[in-house]
Structure 1
Amino acid sequence: MTAGELRHLSFLDLVKLCGNYRLASITSTARPVPFRATPDGPPVGLLLPSVLEALAAHNTLRRDGSQLEYWIMRDDSFVSFAPELSTPAARTRAMQETTIWWRDTGRFESIISPRLWRGEWYAVYVDPFGPLSVDGGDPTQEADDGENPNYAFSMERSACALFGVVTYGVHMTVYEKDDDGTVRIWVPRRSATKQTWPGTLDNSIAGGIPARSSPRWSLAKESMEEGSIPEALVDKYAIAVGAISYFFQTKDKALQPEVEFVYDMCVPKVEGLRLSPGDTEVETFKLMPLEEVIEHMHAGEFKPNCALVLIDFLIRNGYLTPDNEPHYLDIITRMHDRFSYEHW
């Protein structure tokens, strides 16, 4: 798109920017290979040819060292962990060793270089729409595997897109509403030094859900770290209002299906709440009238998935309706994607 076109993105354009991958439209020759946690289990991710080659190279490395090969590769049928890696902790350690080797040897440099490496664990689930694990603990330790049978393993956050696994986050809109209906939203600008999407506008509070953590715990953590919001205010005013999901393919062609748990937090002025950066991930916050927020959305200034959360806010609060938006149904259905999971 040209700079002029970016200033006039429709709401549907914004949705398509984020949900830009459709598995059903991919030809058989370019179709990714299913990735399983166990040879006889369901798919938990999708692997592109470049990742298959890198997994084969890691198998060769271990085989040359007379060690167990971590990866079972069934031609174009599927890839899985070796059956000897029978626990979540064992699979986690194998995944960590493999991806660290890629990082340190410069493989996938635009995705998991030392600069882009996050040092954060994300959980992967047997059923991506099933229960999340919330028992806490170190994902690499057998004693902390927990009792959730849906938990398969954990892995480095930045490497998730290489394996096409579903990741999870929390996004919250913090706003004020006057008696006359005027809405103002707290909008942060991401740090210019942030690893991903530097300098773009963001949701009031947003972040990934670490392995072994609940959405609500993650929300409280991010609220303090990013916006200096006390946990007591989060407990008092933050409301879970739903979730959005989308299948994003990065500029490097990596596959990133994501689920975001969505929260609203309308805070009365009497609380005197003013959001301010609590860490280095956010440069500034601005309390912005809703009309101005929408202008920045149409200009393409928001991180793509953050624009989706704001579109969801507009729909739920009656600002975006089937009477004023011709693509209303297309927008709503695209924002609740199941990633063609039944075809994985």
Structure 2
Amino acid sequence: MSSVPSQSLSYLDLINRCDNTTINHSAPGDFSDALFEELTPLRLSADPDSPVIGLLRPIMIQQLSADNERSIKEGKKELWFLDPKLHNGFASLQAWLNTPSKRTTALKELSERWRDEEVFPDVSGKRKWRNEMYPVYKDPFGVHDYPSDAGRDDYNYAFEIERSVCALFGIVTYGVHMTIYQESIATRSLKIWVPTRARTKQTFPGMLDNTVAGGIPSGMGMFDSLVKECMEEASIEEHVVNAHARGAGVISYFYKTTAGWLQPEIEYVYDMPMPLNADPVPFTPKPLDGEVESFDFLTQDQVISKMRAGLFKPNCALVLIDLFVRLGYISPENEPDYMKIVTRLHGRFDYDLWQAQAQA
């Protein structure tokens, strides 16, 4: 590993930029994020055994209360149950929303109204709208199933919701990230294909990214999502992905945006190592759908320099750190924060505290 200026970001600094939220629960009635903003767990229903599916900021409690009042005035069913003891309680969907299809329909109408009325323009307004449906699971660490009958409620799948709205509700989201690289074991050298995000992207425009990355849309599996993103973002053919991509685990982190919105995320990580004697053409990414401005084949030292300068999208730096750990370039012998780094790449978002608070 090359030496870097002392003022540059360390690997642990890079993790702290992305995994930047913890839950405080040090005293009765104290359930807040790291900056002591009171949070309210969002249950699927008011049933005592109902799972927690998200976390709500005070501004969201106010908005849900206002939406209930609006529903009453319009003679419609209320969507939200709001515990009168919200400072140490929970919120939930109403009992009549008892199937995935009912929840999806109700939240789609709500999300689109918020979009059109620019209720939260910095998150899910017209300019931030993604037009992608994301799955919400009863157990965020459980199976990614999908109902053949959305009128039944015996799946881990609970409903689906517009991607840009997930952060408003503090819902766990999922993605796939893949690195195309070439490694010489003999010379202990590594080169990585690195894209620059388009300046028109809704999030992190112009920053550096992983070779291929994207969210997992509702109803699609992890590897199928990867195949889709490989073609759309990088012009990598499906047969190449099938032959050479391999699963390499997951990373997870609890990210809070600069505006305070909560984004706990799980990313499924894939590698595509390029054989040294292989034709490079099938592995060479090229922009296709306009989300990537360009690709560069960078040495490991160049990648590390740009990471430590803060040029990578925060979660993409974590994927690269995970790669360096797995390939042995970050080790206990050369990194004093090794154990902190490795354990921080696989967090649980203090999820047990979400559940405990909702049952308090």
Shorter-chain TM range is: over 0.9
Aligned match of 2:357: none
Aligned match of 2:344: 334
Alpha-carbon distance, 1:107 to partner: 1.3
CA displacement, residues 117-157 of structure 1 (integer Å, 9 cap, x when unaligned): 0010000100000000256x8xxxxx446786101111010
Matched residue type, 1:58: D
Q: CA contact under 8 A between 1:7 and 1:299: conserved in structure 2?
A: no
Q: CA contact under 8 A between 1:45 and 1:165: conserved in structure 2?
A: yes
The answer to whether the aligner puts 1:229 opposite 2:236 as a matched pair is yes
Deviation >6 Å, runs of 4+: none
Query: Share of identical aligned residues, percent?
Result: 45
The answer to whether the aligner puts 1:307 opposite 2:307 as a matched pair is no
> How many angstroms apart in 1 are the aligned matches of 2:261 and 2:204?
16
Q: Give the direction of change, closer, same or farther, for the CA distance of 1:285–1:80 in structure 2 (3 Å limit).
A: same
5 Å-filtered alignment, 1:168-179, equals: 168-178=174-184
Matched residue type, 1:241: A
> How many angstroms apart in 1 are the aligned matches of 2:348 and 2:159?
21
- Secondary structure of the corresponding residue to residue 15 of structure 2: helix
The answer to whether the aligner puts 1:220 opposite 2:230 as a matched pair is no
2:287 to 254, 277, 282: 277
Q: CA contact under 8 A between 2:99 and 2:150: conserved in structure 1?
A: no
Aligned match of 1:32: 39
- Secondary structure of the corresponding residue to residue 24 of structure 1: coil
> How many angstroms apart in 1 are the aligned matches of 2:246 and 2:145?
21
1:81 to 93, 97, 121: 93
Matched residue type, 2:190: V
5 Å-filtered alignment, 1:85-164, equals: 85-134=97-146, 143-144=149-150, 149-164=155-170
5 Å-filtered alignment, 1:44-63, equals: 44-63=53-72
User: What number of residue pairs does the alignment pair up?
Assistant: 334
> How many angstroms apart in 2 are the aligned matches of 1:71 and 1:144?
21
Aligned match of 1:295: 305
Query: Normalising by structure 2, what TM-score?
Result: 0.89
Matched residue type, 1:13: D
Aligned match of 1:11: 11
CA displacement, residues 269-325 of structure 1 (integer Å, 9 cap, x when unaligned): 325231101111000001111111111000000000000000000000000011111
Matched residue type, 2:70: L
- Secondary structure of the corresponding residue to residue 104 of structure 2: helix
Q: Give the direction of change, closer, same or farther, for the CA distance of 1:148–1:204 in structure 2 (3 Å limit).
A: farther
Alpha-carbon distance, 1:267 to partner: 2.0
Q: CA contact under 8 A between 1:126 and 1:151: conserved in structure 2?
A: yes
Query: Normalising by structure 1, what TM-score?
Result: 0.93
Q: CA contact under 8 A between 1:277 and 1:285: conserved in structure 2?
A: yes
Matched residue type, 1:54: Q
Matched residue type, 2:232: E
- Secondary structure of the corresponding residue to residue 34 of structure 1: strand
Aligned match of 1:140: none
Q: Give the direction of change, closer, same or farther, for the CA distance of 1:277–1:181 in structure 2 (3 Å limit).
A: same
Alpha-carbon distance, 1:31 to partner: 2.9
When the two chains are superposed, the root-mean-square deviation of aligned CA atoms in Å is 1.8
Matched residue type, 2:207: T
> How many angstroms apart in 2 are the aligned matches of 1:146 and 1:69?
22
Alpha-carbon distance, 1:108 to partner: 1.3
Q: Give the direction of change, closer, same or farther, for the CA distance of 1:170–1:64 in structure 2 (3 Å limit).
A: same
Matched residue type, 1:10: S
1:193 to 184, 192, 200: 200
Matched residue type, 1:14: L
Q: CA contact under 8 A between 1:134 and 1:214: conserved in structure 2?
A: no
Aligned match of 1:325: 335
> How many angstroms apart in 2 are the aligned matches of 1:10 and 1:253?
24
Q: CA contact under 8 A between 1:247 and 1:258: conserved in structure 2?
A: yes
Q: Give the direction of change, closer, same or farther, for the CA distance of 1:243–1:28 in structure 2 (3 Å limit).
A: closer
> How many angstroms apart in 2 are the aligned matches of 1:277 and 1:127?
36
Matched residue type, 2:63: A
CA displacement, residues 67-107 of structure 1 (integer Å, 9 cap, x when unaligned): 10011111311111111111011101111122222222221
Q: CA contact under 8 A between 1:45 and 1:164: conserved in structure 2?
A: yes
Q: CA contact under 8 A between 1:6 and 1:300: conserved in structure 2?
A: no
> How many angstroms apart in 2 are the aligned matches of 1:244 and 1:276?
26
Q: CA contact under 8 A between 1:133 and 1:211: conserved in structure 2?
A: no
Q: Give the direction of change, closer, same or farther, for the CA distance of 1:45–1:70 in structure 2 (3 Å limit).
A: same
Q: CA contact under 8 A between 1:88 and 1:152: conserved in structure 2?
A: yes
